[in-house]
């Protein structure tokens, strides 16, 4: 691990130099909100934000992505043959991703990179990307990363972690990818003061006011939790929009659609949401998750129970707080996690009796 | 539609009895003339899916 | 532009305009060939979705006639 | 509206105790400033969580469709008009719903307030006419009229039009509001300019369908966006597909929309899709003299024929 000091005067210059070797992405303010976007030449990421409106998961897993293309024109030899759409897997770098969002990438990777199945679209994009994190010194009151297996200076999933020191940035090069990026940017003035990072981390962690408890989730009986009495109450206000799932950095569900125009067509994948009634509709018309309560329960059980049991990698949440802030009816995962974590099966019996 | 920027002449309504073949022909002519005047539909066409 | 001819998707009521179109044909009347006729059982069957779909698929105009 | 909470609790408690209804639908205090959560109470004890302030912008009529039990619902002016529409459209029976009317002085606009102060909002408190916003380093006092949701600022039906009981005396209705100034401004634009305007307006849309789902009018078992045969529009992020969705959604609300603002309030990216629904509302008003949800005895403009209906657009 190497520490590099970057004078803010050299920051723009370094990024411009790196832009020769990398396609740069970063947070940019559009209308009222920050959003991760490809940076134009010379455009700088804007760090005057807490976090982006939507998570940067779309960089690896776009909301709509063409996978295959085909032609229905029978005069062509290759009609009805699916062909991969060309993708751009040249190196790129995300500058200014928050540590919570970087950690979420690893949770999503558990799904797209399994021993049995590997998603080439996601993995190619992932391997092509260098993640340059910006430590988070001003968390919101809805951030609960420290108790969600993450933190404002968390390093998992990052190649480089940058902290703001006023007139300079201090960067920790965590991987070879990170080192390569620093070299391309020409940032080479080493520093040797790891204590600064520790102090920054402690101060930032002290600003996190929101917490969740997850210690009992793994031990609680799955079926009992599934049958817990609080689901109707929680699900009541839900309007089954997909806001929580679309803004969530760890939600990975997608749907595959063919779109045909004239004689040419594409097969594309689009984000899907377990909140939508048609998410689980079978061809027969039967829908195993027909009610709102079932769908809401699925979302939270997946994040806070099934995932915990299956991967033993903690909860499927990094505490970014987006769903808490954006839910139109104030369904709060923190409150729900508390209810699930403190649930005792005996309560269920009492409720039934 | 007009509010969104579709020309009003792209949408026509009429009422013709089954016995009014002359009116039918006249309306076809009139509609065609009007659409020719505003030119082709450039906006409201979907070619291939654009992905963001 | 000069040789461009508009495509007009026409939704005609079975009992009214479609009948008129039929009569126009029987009477050998001449009219522009820009219209593409879709017969609907009644103008009440018309739906904004139909008009939008026609435009999305490349029609230059939509004509609904009862 | 500050005194309403106690009165609502009292009414709800009584209705449940006397078994007049099986369930009371209202709001409970949210976990965030300027957010309340719709909730229900089925026992007299549970009514203690009920709450009312200027952050109850979600339309509770949305929670009434397909209910079997007898329900009481706390209803603002706009909610009550949507309940009327539900009754007319046979989504609920009049004797199945007990309407607790709330004379409303408007809901505050969370997004607007967030944009007006610097830093994260930690707490919000209100009096009858003022809203106090507390951030980490400052306190700001606003007149409530400055920070109302646009639809509330333009509202001309603040009192419920139908109710079984009111929590307070009716409030003064606003007169002299120009409801459609922004729409008329768009109407003066040229075709290209209009097209651009809406492209720009809809560009942040992520198609989460929060606008559709927050809307009490949208109760179809299968929405047209979910239909596959035929598929009316693509599922991706193509701007034309997004536009088709918003356009058709607005059309389905023609002559039914009460401009409750739930769609705009629910939108996670802050799109003012009410521009579309209000255009249709304006047309209904101008052409048929119709306003949605004002009376149980009148059929909606879109489902009756009258000899004097305008027909100048028909050749």
Percent of chain D with pLDDT over 90: 74
Tokens for A166?
């006023």
A299-333, pLDDT tens digit by residue? Answer: 999 999 999 999 999 999 999 999 999 999 999 99
Is the confidence at residue D73, as pLDDT, over 80?
yes
Tokens for A157?
């999933």
Is the confidence at residue B52, as pLDDT, over 50?
no
Give the per-residue pLDDT at A251.
Answer: 96
A195 in Cβ contact with A310 (< 8 Å): no
Distances (CA, A) of D117 to D112, D126, D172: 9, 16, 30
Number of domains in chain A: 2
Closest chain C C-alpha to D252 CA, distance in angstroms: 9
Distance, in Å, from the CA atom of A264 to the CA atom of D81, rounded to the nearest integer, reads 48
Distance, in Å, from the CA atom of D309 to the CA atom of B15, rounded to the nearest integer, reads 15
Partners of chain C (3+ Cβ pairs below 8 A): B, D
CB contact under 8 A, B32 and C51: no
CB contact under 8 A, C65 and B27: yes
Is the confidence at residue A350, as pLDDT, over 60?
no
Partners of chain D (3+ Cβ pairs below 8 A): A, B, C
Give the per-residue pLDDT at B18.
Answer: 84
Domain assignment present for residue A213? The answer is: no
Comparing A203-212, A265-274, D89-98, D292-301, which segment has the lowest mean pLDDT? D292-301
- The more confidently predicted of residues D209 and B50 is D209
Which of A176, A206, A236 lies at the terminal end of a domain, its last residue? A206
Best interface-test mutation with B: which of C2, C14, C32 has the largest number of B CBs within 10 A? Answer: C32
CA-closest candidate to residue D243, choices D271, D202, D274: D202
Residues A236 and A346 in one domain: yes
Closest chain A C-alpha to D261 CA, distance in angstroms: 12
Distance, in Å, from the CA atom of D2 to the CA atom of D269, rounded to the nearest integer, reads 30
Is the confidence at residue B47, as pLDDT, over 80?
no
Tokens for D164?
């079984």
Give the per-residue pLDDT at D298.
Answer: 85
D118-154, pLDDT tens digit by residue? Answer: 889 999 999 989 999 999 889 999 999 999 999 999 9
Which of B48, B51, B52 is facing A261, going by the closest CB pair? B48
A87-117, pLDDT tens digit by residue? Answer: 899 999 999 999 999 999 999 999 999 999 9
Residues A154 and A8 in one domain: yes
Give the per-residue pLDDT at A351.
Answer: 52
Tokens for D30?
């949210």
Best interface-test mutation with B: which of A64, A125, A263 has the largest number of B CBs within 10 A? Answer: A64
Q: Where are the alpha helices (DSSP H) in D100-259?
A: 110-116, 150-153, 181-187, 191-202, 210-214, 239-252
Mean pLDDT of chain D: 92
D260 in Cβ contact with D78 (< 8 Å): yes
CA-closest candidate to residue D47, choices D104, D108, D5, D2: D5
Is the confidence at residue D92, as pLDDT, over 90?
yes
Residue A255 domain boundaries:
222-352
User: Has the ipTM of the complex gone over 0.85?
Assistant: yes
Q: Where are the alpha helices (DSSP H) in chain A?
A: 8-18, 99-112, 120-128, 176-185, 194-206, 222-226, 231-235, 243-247, 292-301, 307-311, 322-326, 333-341, 345-352
CB contact under 8 A, D233 and C56: yes
Distance, in Å, from the CA atom of A70 to the CA atom of A265, rounded to the nearest integer, reads 5
Find the closest chain A residue to D208 by CA distance.
A242
Tokens for D154?
């333009």
CB contact under 8 A, B48 and A266: yes
Partners of chain B (3+ Cβ pairs below 8 A): A, C, D
How many other CB atoms are found less than 10 A from the CB of residue A70? Answer: 18
Domain assignment present for residue A215? The answer is: no
Is the confidence at residue B37, as pLDDT, over 90?
no
D208-239, pLDDT tens digit by residue? Answer: 999 999 999 999 988 999 888 888 888 888 88
A207-221, pLDDT tens digit by residue? Answer: 999 999 999 999 999
Specify the length of chain B in residues. 52
CA dihedral in degrees (A282, A288, A291, A295; nearest 10)?
A: -90
A341 in Cβ contact with A213 (< 8 Å): yes
Task: Show residues of chain C in contact with D236, CB under 8 Å.
Answer: none
Whether chain D has a CB inside 8 Å of the CB on A247: the answer is: yes
Task: Show residues of chain B in contact with A59, CB under 8 Å.
Answer: none
Tokens for A152?
């404002």
Is the confidence at residue C36, as pLDDT, over 90?
yes
How many other CB atoms are found less than 10 A from the CB of residue D227? Answer: 14
Mean pLDDT for C3-15 is 90
Domain parsing of chain C, residue ranges: 8-65
Q: How confident is the model at residue A349 (pLDDT cuts 50, 70, 90)?
A: low
CA-closest candidate to residue D112, choices D79, D156, D72, D142: D142
pTM of the model: 0.90
A35 in Cβ contact with A27 (< 8 Å): yes
Specify the length of chain A in residues. 353
Tokens for D187?
């109407």
How far, rounded to the nearest angstrom, does the alpha carbon of residue A252 sit from its chain's CA centroid? Answer: 9
Find the closest chain D residue to A283 by CA distance.
D228
Give the per-residue pLDDT at C14.
Answer: 92
Tokens for D145?
């009229």
Give the per-residue pLDDT at A353.
Answer: 43
Residues A272 and A140 in one domain: no
Provide the β-strand partners of residue A266: A69, A259
A132-180, pLDDT tens digit by residue? Answer: 999 999 899 999 999 999 999 999 999 999 999 888 999 999 999 999 9
Find the closest chain C residue to B25 by CA distance.
C31
Closest chain D C-alpha to A95 CA, distance in angstroms: 22
- Beta-carbon pairs below 8 A across chains C and D: 16
Distance, in Å, from the CA atom of C59 to the CA atom of C66, rounded to the nearest integer, reads 20
Q: In degrees rounded to 5, what are phi and psi of residue A177?
A: -60, -40
Distance, in Å, from the CA atom of D308 to the CA atom of D315, rounded to the nearest integer, reads 16
Distance, in Å, from the CA atom of D119 to the CA atom of A263, rounded to the nearest integer, reads 53
CA atoms within a 13 Å half-sphere pointing along the CA-CB vector of D53: 20
Residues A254 and A122 in one domain: no
Report angle CA A212, A217, A219 to the nearest 5 degrees.
Answer: 145
Whether chain A has a CB inside 8 Å of the CB on D186: the answer is: no
Give the per-residue pLDDT at A239.
Answer: 94
Report angle CA D143, D148, D150 to the nearest 5 degrees.
Answer: 145
Mean pLDDT for D234-249 is 90
D26-60, pLDDT tens digit by residue? Answer: 999 999 999 999 999 999 999 999 999 999 999 99
Give the per-residue pLDDT at B50.
Answer: 57
Residues 6 or more apart whose Cβ sits within 8 Å of residue C58: B41, B45, C7
Task: Show residues of chain D in contact with C66, CB under 8 Å.
Answer: 314
How many other CB atoms are found less than 10 A from the CB of residue A339? Answer: 15
Q: In degrees rounded to 5, what are phi and psi of residue C38?
A: -120, 125
CA atoms within a 13 Å half-sphere pointing along the CA-CB vector of A279: 22
Q: How confident is the model at residue B2 (pLDDT cuts 50, 70, 90)?
A: confident
Is the confidence at residue B20, as pLDDT, over 60?
yes
Mean pLDDT for D152-160 is 94
CA-closest candidate to residue D120, choices B18, A210, A202: A210
């Amino acid at each position: 691990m190497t520490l590099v000091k970057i004078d803010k005067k050299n920051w723009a210059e370094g990024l411009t130099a790196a832009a020769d070797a990398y396609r740069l992405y970063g947070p940019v303010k559009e209308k009222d909100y920050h959003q991760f976007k490809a940076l134009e030449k010379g455009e700088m990421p804007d760090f005057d934000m807490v976090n982006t409106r939507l998570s940067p998961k779309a960089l690896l897993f776009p909301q709509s992505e063409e996978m295959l293309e085909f032609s229905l024109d029978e005069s062509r030899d290759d009609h009805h043959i699916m062909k991969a759409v060309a993708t751009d897997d040249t190196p790129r770098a995300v500058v200014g991703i928050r540590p919570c969002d970087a950690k979420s990438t690893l949770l999503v990777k558990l799904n797209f990179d399994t021993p049995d199945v590997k998603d080439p679209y996601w993995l190619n994009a992932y391997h092509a990307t260098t993640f340059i994190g910006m430590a988070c010194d001003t968390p919101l009151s809805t951030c609960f990363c420290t108790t969600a297996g993450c933190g404002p200076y968390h390093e998992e999933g990052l190649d480089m972690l940058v902290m703001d020191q006023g007139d300079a940035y201090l960067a920790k090069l965590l991987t070879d990818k990170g080192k390569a990026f620093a070299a391309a940017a020409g940032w080479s003035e080493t520093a040797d003061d790891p204590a600064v990072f520790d102090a920054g981390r402690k101060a930032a962690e002290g600003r996190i006011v929101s917490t969740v408890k997850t210690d009992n989730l793994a031990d609680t009986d799955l079926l009992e939790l599934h049958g817990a009495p609080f689901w109707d109450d929680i699900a009541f206000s839900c309007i089954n929009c997909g806001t929580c799932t679309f803004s969530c950095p760890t939600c990975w569900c997608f749907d595959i659609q063919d779109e045909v125009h004239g004689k040419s067509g594409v097969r594309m994948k689009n984000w899907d949401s377990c909140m939508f009634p048609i998410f689980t509709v079978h061809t027969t018309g039967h829908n195993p998750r027909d009610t709102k309560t079932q769908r809401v329960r699925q979302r939270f059980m997946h994040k806070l129970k099934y995932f915990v049991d299956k991967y033993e990698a903690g909860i499927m949440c990094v505490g970014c707080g987006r769903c808490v802030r954006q839910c139109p009816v104030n369904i709060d995962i923190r409150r729900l996690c508390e209810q699930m974590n403190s649930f005792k099966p005996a309560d269920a019996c009492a409720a039934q009796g | 539609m007009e509010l969104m920027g579709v020309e009003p002449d792209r949408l026509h309504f009429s009422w013709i009895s089954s016995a009014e073949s002359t009116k039918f022909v006249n309306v076809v002519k009139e509609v065609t003339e009007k659409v020719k005047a505003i030119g082709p539909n450039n906006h409201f066409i979907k070619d291939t899916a654009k992905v963001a | 532009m000069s040789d461009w001819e508009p495509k007009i998707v026409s939704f005609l009521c079975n009992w009214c305009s479609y009948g008129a179109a039929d009569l126009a044909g029987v009477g050998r009347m001449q009219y522009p060939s820009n219209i593409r006729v879709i017969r609907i059982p009644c103008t009440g069957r018309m739906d904004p979705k139909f008009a939008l779909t026609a435009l999305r698929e490349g029609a230059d105009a939509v004509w609904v006639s009862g | 509206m500050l005194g309403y909470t106690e009165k609502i609790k009292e009414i709800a408690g009584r209705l449940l105790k006397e078994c007049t209804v099986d369930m009371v639908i209202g709001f409970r205090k949210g976990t965030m400033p300027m957010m309340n959560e719709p909730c229900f109470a089925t026992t007299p004890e549970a009514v203690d969580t009920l709450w009312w302030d200027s952050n109850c912008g979600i339309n509770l009529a949305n929670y009434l469709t397909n209910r079997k039990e007898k329900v009481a619902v706390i209803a603002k002016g706009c909610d009550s008009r949507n309940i009327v529409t539900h009754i007319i459209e046979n989504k609920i029976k009049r004797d199945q719903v007990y309407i607790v009317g709330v004379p409303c002085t408007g809901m505050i606009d969370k997004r607007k307030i967030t944009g007006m102060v610097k830093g994260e909002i930690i707490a919000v408190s209100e009096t009858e006419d003022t809203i106090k916003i507390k951030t980490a380093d400052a306190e700001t006092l606003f007149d409530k009229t400055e920070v109302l949701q646009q639809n509330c600022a333009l509202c001309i039906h603040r009192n419920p039009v139908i109710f079984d009981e009111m929590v307070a005396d009716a409030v003064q209705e606003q007169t002299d509001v120009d409801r459609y100034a922004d729409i008329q401004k768009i109407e003066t634009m040229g075709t290209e300019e209009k097209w651009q305007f809406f492209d720009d307006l809809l560009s942040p849309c992520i198609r989460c369908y929060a606008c559709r789902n927050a809307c009490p009018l949208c109760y179809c078992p299968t929405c047209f966006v979910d239909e596959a045969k035929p598929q009316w529009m693509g599922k991706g992020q193509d701007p034309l597909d997004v536009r088709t969705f918003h356009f058709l959604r607005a059309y389905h609300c023609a002559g039914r929309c009460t401009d409750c603002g739930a769609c705009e309030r629910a939108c996670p990216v802050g799109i003012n899709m009410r521009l579309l629904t209000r255009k249709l509302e304006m047309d209904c008003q101008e052409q048929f003299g119709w306003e949605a949800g004002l009376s149980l005895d009148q059929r909606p403009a879109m489902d009756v024929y009258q000899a004097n209906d305008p027909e100048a657009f028909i050749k």
